[in-house]
Structure 1
Amino acid sequence: MSERPLLNRRLDGFGTTIFAEMSALAVKTGAINLGQGFPDTDGPEEIREAAVRALRDGKGNQYPPGPGIPELRMAVTEHQQRFYGLTFDPDTEVLVTAGATEAIAATMLALLEPGDEVIAFEPYYDSYAACISMAGATRVPLTLRAPDFRPDLDALRDAITPHTRLLLLNSPHNPTGMVLTRDELTAIAELAVERDLIVVTDEVYEHLVFEGEHIPLISLPGMRDRTVSISSAGKTFSFTGWKVGWVTAAAPLVTAIRTAKQFLTYVSAGPFQYAVAEALRLPDSYFIGFRDELGVKRDLLAGGLTDAGFEVYRPQGTYFVTTDVAALGEKDALAFCRSLPERCGVVAVPNSVFYDDPKPGRTQVRFAFCKRESVLREAVARLGQL
């Protein structure tokens, strides 16, 4: 066999994800897993039953339509209208995907070519870097810095070159919990119009905003035809294994993304699509209660981490808390996270792996609080041993 590497060079450096590594470590050691962002309880019982009913009724057991079942596409448009006053055509401006991760991958593969540049906030969700690389484009990081992780809009303007094709934004932001303000979004929108850029927005934590508000960039002047808005059911309804996401955008953008998506999964999650359509129509009390419940858990974990000696950056949204372990005398977040299960029986994730230049995040560690309160209390007690 030739000496050429087996792995495509575009994926060089993208080995096992940090989430898989840390979750495996949790299983191996029996530690409490506050690393990977999945709940330890299922979402609403009536939505789980809706999936069972769809299975029994033969709905979605065979290939669903490529763009997604009509019921879900309609429910997505109703959701966008209900929460944000946005109007979309369910037949031409909505695309159902295998979670937001596939939506991001299909979008990058559809809209980027070699030589294009993509500006993305760092620290970034790890699939962003891989998807941009697979598309042959170049990632240009815009670093969000502690303690408030606000984007430097002057630096954003300076980062744009004639090769910049799109901006990839995430708000509420994983892992920092930053939520973009209306002023920041307005400035980004004006810049995108001025420089004729496409903007892709990852909004999977849209219903988990504790301070401020979630404002879809696509709702701002000049952005309707140049924004790809991505969200999913996993984080909002606590069924992360169902992998049901969606894209809402102008018809030409959706057509382009669908062209790439059809050669990735083609279709997925047939019966679950029917259940998610029902979930999106749950009353306001569900969405408010879900947010408030997570807010209590945020305060519980953030307070416990502070008492344990961590420097805590209180998140405005998402279900993650970013901390700094330098206050504990630590110098390397990755080494700290690898040793933490043995030291006190808790697993977390180092933010440093989400940076191109790891220096700004070298001592930052992320903890997930989407767990039962009893689990969080036990984790806090264990972390107090540090």
Structure 2
Amino acid sequence: MDMQYSRLVEQIPPSGIRRFFDLLSGQKDIISLGVGEPDFVTPWSIREEAFAALDKGLTSYTANRGLPELRREIAKYLAKYKLRYDPETEILITIGVSEAVDIALRALLNPGDEVIVASPCYVSYQPLVMLAGGQPITLDTSKTKFIPTAGAIAKLITPRTKALFICSPNNPTGTTIPEAELRKIAALVRRHKIFVLSDEVYAEITYSGQHSSIGSLPGLQDQTIVLNGFSKAFAMTGWRVGYVCCPAPLLEQILKLHQYCAICAPIMSQYGALEALRHCQDEAVKMRRSYLQRRNFMLYALAEIGLPVVKPTGSFYVFVDIRRTGLTSEEFALRLLEQEKVAVVPGDAFGAGGEGFVRCCYATELVLLKEALRRIKKFHKNLSVL
């Protein structure tokens, strides 16, 4: 039957990450440096808290905003980053950060509003801007060592600009925006009276000093939407708990969308998240130290191979420059997979500026990382003699 589907949805390509990893299905002996997921199991006390919730029969809906005690704990946690949010009116628990991004954009945008998106970026940002009726405007950061700058942003601002979307620490590049540059961006945002959507899900995986949030800068909280969650810091990807923090009037609009599309995040997951904030900060620190050790190994090994990278200062990714090989990002990734059974993500999956790079996730057991880098070295050497 000839059916007419949503023209808007038909225009949006499938996820470049998932499209590539469909190729892995059924293949054996693959070492994956692809999917951005901690290799740690969720800490035991978090799992135990979820078991206890189930044992008590806590299987109902929660309030749409989420458990009050979890929102209060999030407010305490964010205070260490100099963010002040009222847990009653300015914090909403969502089904992962993905839902938070989606409903925040839909509540904020009107048809034709422009959102400047620092790119390379996580694959969902630009499609979700489009699905919310907005127009993504790409800020290519590849010429500034993958750091969005106030000067570059200023050139893209028009009367239709509604928001700026940043992610620091960044997926896929591992870079963080220096505080001095963040202050310049904040001054620009204040002057033009636009919103900032700040994805801070990698805040706990910052290697050089404490994470800085743009929302903590003077006069910016009323223009900032902070997006965060538990997946990366506490190895809770499958639990699907995130949150959005913003001024109360905007949160009321976001809440409407959450009520209709999700109702609430799973109650057991919320109790697990509560345990994470109350008692598992030390576990997050241990994981970060492990990632730092692996990052240092990756930097050493890639330098030895002759593949340049911009040094990651956060998250658990390296964005490897493969332009000297003469291959496109997809050619490099496909041939590496076929010849050496190592999976990486082509950089063009992350938008403008990503071509000529591949993303490697080092949230992988060190012994497997070493074997993967041995195979990459062999692959690169064979390319060099062709």
Instruction: Verify same fold: TM over 0.5.
Output: yes
Deviation at 1:283, TM superposition (A): 5.7
What letter corresponds to residue 16 of structure 2 in structure 1? I
Q: 1:146 to 1:299 in 2, by over 3 A?
A: farther
Letter aligned with residue 90 of structure 2: E
Please point out which of 362, 365, 378 is paired with 2:358: 365
Change (3 A) 1:158 1:274: same
**Residue from 16, 19, 40 that aligns with 2:17:** 19
Q: Is the 8 A contact 1:324 1:363 kept in 2?
A: yes
Residue 19 of structure 1, CA deviation: 2.2
Corresponding residue for residue 202 of structure 1: 199
SS of 1:263's equivalent in the other structure is helix
Task: Name the counterpart of 1:383.
Answer: 376
Relative to the length of structure 2, the TM-score reads 0.93
Q: 1:289 to 1:41 in 2, by over 3 A?
A: closer
Label 1:44 to 1:133 Cα distance change in 2 as closer, same or farther (>3 A): same
2:295 to 294, 298, 303: 298
Alpha-carbon displacement from aligned partner over 1:13-34 (angstroms, at most 9, x marks no partner): 4343222233333343221111
Rounded to whole Å, the distance in 2 between the matches of 1:306 and 1:323 is 10
Superposed CA deviations along residues 231-288 of structure 1, whole A, max 9, x for unmatched, are: 0100010110111000112211211211122222222221010011110123653333
**1:163-221 alpha-carbon deviations (Å, 9 max, x no partner):** 01111111111111111111111111111111111111100000111125311111111
Match of 1:89 in 2: 86
Aligned length: 378
Matches within 5 A, 1:216-295: 216-282=213-279, 284-295=281-292
Compared CA separation, residues 155 and 312, structure 1 to 2 (3 A): closer
Q: Which moved more, 1:205-214 or 1:226-235?
A: 205-214
1:55 shift after superposition = 1.7
Change (3 A) 1:53 1:80: same
Q: Check conservation: 1:37, 1:370, Cα contact below 8 A.
A: yes
Tell me whether 1:331 sits opposite 2:330 in the alignment: no
- 2:168 aligns to what? 171
Report the Cα offset of residue 2 of structure 1: 4.9
* Unmatched 5+ stretches in structure 1: none
Change over 3 Å in CA distance of 1:265–1:338 after alignment to 2? farther
Any idea what SS the aligned residue of 2:284 has?
helix
Q: Whole-Å Cα distance in 2 between the matches of residues 74 and 123 of structure 1?
A: 34
Q: What SS class does the counterpart of residue 278 from structure 2 fall into?
A: coil
Q: Match of 1:49?
A: 48
Alignment check: 8 A CA contact 1:26 1:346 kept: no
Of 95-104 and 149-158, the range deviating more from structure 2: 149-158
Indicate if the aligned counterparts of 1:29 and 1:341 stay in contact, CA closer than 8 A.
no
Deviation at 1:89, TM superposition (A): 1.6
Distance 1:147 1:376 in 2: 29
Which of 109, 112, 122 is 1:112 aligned to?
109
Gapped regions of structure 2 (runs ≥ 5): 380-386
Once residues 296 and 10 of structure 1 are traced to their aligned partners in structure 2, the CA distance between those partners, rounded to angstroms, is: 44
1:127 partnered with 2:127: no
1:134-145 → structure 2 map (5 Å cutoff): 134-145=131-142
Please report how far the alpha carbon of residue 49 of structure 1 lies from its aligned counterpart in structure 2 after TM superposition: 1.4
CA–CA distance in structure 2, aligned partners of residues 383 and 49 of structure 1: 40
Change in CA separation of 1:180 and 1:147 when aligned onto 2, cut-off 3 Å = closer
SS in structure 2 opposite 1:92? coil
Q: Percent identity?
A: 33
- Asked whether the equivalents of residues 147 and 313 of structure 1 are also in contact (C-alpha less than 8 Å), the reply is no
What is the rounded CA distance, in whole Å, between the counterparts of 2:332 and 2:253 in structure 1? 43
In structure 2, the residue matched to 1:29 is 27
TM-score after normalising by structure 1: 0.93
1:376 is paired with a residue whose SS is helix
Q: Does the 8 Å contact 2:34/2:361 carry over to 1?
A: yes
